[in-house]
């Protein structure tokens, strides 16, 4: 009883101390957890020491929350810490996520005005409902004929100012809900998802490998927005 009481007092003191914390953190988000899920963990544990909740257990809980048919509802946090994140990374994406703490949240916009660089693996011949590797496969196509020369020929179409339509599995709000909330329930968006202007400075080809060819070419990072390349599916 005494140990439990002492731990509770220590936790309260630690949470009071966090009210004096202000700043911006650069956190390396691992794949498999959403940006909101990582933010929830930080809000609950910044300022704590031995009573800090293990990240592995939080990660496992987030996995259960994202299971099909599960309502995404996290336990209420007693923390008075104000936290926010600048930009959003997909669940399966890893990379730098800017986290604002208390008054630091007001400064997040200052760090989001520059460009962004992405490194991605792309699979040609597979179409999914979410347009990424997380979704359900809708179509499989033969891509043995695809060569790196063909990719080189089509890449310029996706450089510069282009129109890109977000997928229904996105965090864009419509009708008071996130689009992915409709998608997870098998519902259509309440209105047409409008294309957005996206500026792509360059697409750098690093490596390509076609299992159907004896020789290898280069794999590319292509922006989303077109449902098919070379009349084939992809994600």
- CA dist., res. 19 & res. 21, Å (int): 6
Query: What tokens appear for 202 in the block?
Result: 């360059």
- Residues with pLDDT less than 70, the chain: 1-19, 49-51, 66-79, 211-235
User: 138: which DSSP letter?
Assistant: E
Looking at residue 72, its pLDDT comes to 59
- CA dist., res. 209 & res. 219, Å (int): 6
- Tell me whether residue 90 is one of the annotated catalytic residues: yes
Is the pTM higher than 0.95?
no
- Catalytic residue selected from 90, 109, 129, 201: 90
Looking at residue 54, its pLDDT comes to 82
Total Cβ atoms within 10 A of residue 235 = 19
> Could you read off the pLDDT of 201-211 as tens digits, one per residue?
998 878 888 76
Looking at residue 159, its pLDDT comes to 93
Q: Are 195 and 165 in contact (CB under 8 A)?
A: yes
Looking at residue 68, its pLDDT comes to 59
Looking at residue 218, its pLDDT comes to 44
- CA dist., res. 148 & res. 168, Å (int): 30
């Amino acid at each position: 009883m005494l140990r439990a009481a002492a731990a509770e007092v220590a936790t309260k003191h630690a949470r009071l101390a966090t009210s004096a914390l202000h700043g911006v953190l650069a956190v390396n988000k691992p794949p498999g957890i959403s940006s909101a899920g990582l933010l929830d963990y930080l809000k609950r544990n910044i300022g704590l020491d031995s009573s800090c909740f293990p990240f592995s257990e939080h990660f496992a809980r987030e996995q259960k929350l994202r299971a099909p048919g599960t309502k995404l509802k996290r336990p209420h946090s007693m923390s008075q810490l104000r936290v926010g994140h600048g930009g959003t990374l997909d669940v399966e994406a890893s990379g730098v996520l800017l986290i604002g703490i208390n008054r630091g949240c007001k400064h997040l916009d200052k760090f989001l005005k520059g460009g962004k660089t992405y490194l991605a693996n792309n699979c040609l011949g597979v179409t999914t409902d979410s347009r990424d590797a997380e979704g359900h496969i809708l179509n499989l196509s033969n891509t043995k004929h695809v060569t790196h020369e063909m990719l080189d020929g089509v890449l310029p179409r996706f450089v510069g100012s282009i129109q890109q339509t977000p997928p229904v599995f996105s965090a864009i709000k419509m009708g008071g809900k996130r689009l992915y909330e409709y998608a997870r329930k098998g519902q259509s968006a309440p209105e047409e998802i409008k294309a957005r202007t996206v500026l792509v400075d360059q697409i750098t080809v690093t490596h390509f490998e076609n299992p159907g060819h004896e020789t290898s070419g280069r794999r590319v990072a292509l922006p989303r927005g077109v449902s098919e390349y070379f009349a084939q599916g992809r994600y």
